Amino acid sequence: MSKVKDQYEAYPYPERDPKDEKKRLITGSPSLPQEIDHYVFGGTRDWSRPLRVLVAGGGTGDGLIQIATLMAQYKKPCEITYIDLSSASRKLAEARAKIRGLTSVTFVTGSLLDAAEYGPFDYIDCCGVLHHLPDPDAGFAALRAALAPGGGMGFMVYAPYGRSGVYPLQEAFGALFGDLPPKKRLKAAKEIFAALPDGHPFKSNPNVNDHRNGDAGFYDLLLHSQDCAYAVPDLLATLERTDWQLSGFTTPALYDLSRITPRPDVMSDAQAMALAEKLTGTIRVHTAYAVPAGPDHAPANGKNRALIPHLKGVGVAALAQAIARGQAITLSSDGVSSKLTLPRECAPLIAAITGRRSLTEIAATTGTDPIGMGAMWSKIESGLMPWGMLLYSSVLR
């Protein structure tokens, strides 16, 4: 791990200026509280109980700052442990937390392989880390050992097809400059990169752009000394070996074969997702949630009318107005897009979403009868949930 540690001491990733915390909050998947509730706790978590969180390999702090800030805004109790091997990254994360006045965080410089010593945890965030371990399985297993009963993990690992062109460059730069210190390695690689022919697979890949985001981004993408990508079968096999199971990808539509072509009846879910990944070709990371292996686990869904819906990535009023006008809605992710048209009758239901009303309360507020509510909400759910735009959570109650 010495080369990896040296990299992040020289180039903490992603590049962040703590002063920016005064003007913006970076949000995304995984680790939005609503998303955690939806995928890990079935949308029914008791948020009066403190949420014990591990941010494993927290880097410069994006995931940490997101969950700590939102939990503070929502006035929900939370205890967070941050672990990272880089003291330079930790310094930036601590500075960001200090500017925001976040006091619920314990900072540790160390390895996520020792996570169980600090647990157990109800929720684990591990974004962009496991694929950089010398033995990723050991990392998955260590985090599983740190999990409290009933908990789960939000994670991101690299995917191969959307990163075409990355690995030949990593291998070439490693062979040429692998023994150089980080700053000299970066300088030498940039000189060669600037002269790459236009037909190089990397140059024709629109899915990757970290190399344009400063020196840390270039180094992390093209000069990393330890980096493996997971196709869907590899990821599912890794989860199974380490006593996890997939709860769900945050954008299930990308893995839906029926979106591309009719799915054969004899094909398993795993086989269908693997083919969808190959036919899509643009997925560069897998962002997902995992729970302990055991009985079948599925994310929350609207069959439970006590659940509270939230919209993600779109304004309630704007979406309701578009549906009321009969407009088609463009849904997109990872270079893939689709058009969704919902019946105009769905508009009042969407307009009634506040993040605090249950489905039963939405029906009562809009005067919708139970049978009509079931039919219309099913269309809303099947249209928005595959794109990660509809979640269920009681976190704002």
In order along the chain (397 residues), what is the average pLDDT of each group of 10 residues? Answer: 88 96 96 98 97 98 98 98 97 98 96 96 98 97 98 98 96 95 95 94 92 94 95 98 98 96 95 97 97 87 95 95 94 92 95 97 94 93 96 97
Please answer whether residues 251 and 162 qualify as being in contact, where contact means their C-beta atoms are separated by less than 8 angstroms.
Answer: no
The predicted pLDDT at position 372 comes to 87
**Claim to verify: residue 323 and residue 190 sit in the same structural domain:** no
> Burial letters for 209-221: b for 16+ Cβ neighbours within 10 Å, e otherwise?
ebbeeebbbbbbb
**How many CA atoms lie within 13 Å of 105's alpha carbon, on the beta-carbon side?**
27
149 and 216 fall within a common domain: no
CATH code for the domain of 150: 3.40.50.150
Beta-carbon neighbour count of residue 296 at 10 Å? 5
Same domain as 106, residue 6: yes
Residue 235 vs residues 11, 115, 131, 270, 289: alpha-carbon distances, Å? 28, 21, 11, 10, 12
147 in Cβ contact with 243 (< 8 Å):
no
Position 301 in a domain: no
User: Is 126 in a helix, a strand, or coil?
Assistant: strand
Question: Can you give the pLDDT at residue 1?
Answer: 57
**How many domains is the chain built from?**
3
Instruction: State the pLDDT at residue 3.
Output: 86
The model's pTM: 0.96
The pLDDT assigned to 243 comes to 98
> CA of 283: how far to CAs of 206, 267, 375, in Å?
11, 21, 33
**One domain for residues 213 and 348:** no
Helix (H, G, I), strand (E, B) or coil at 293: coil
State which residues form the domain around 286.
2-158+230-292
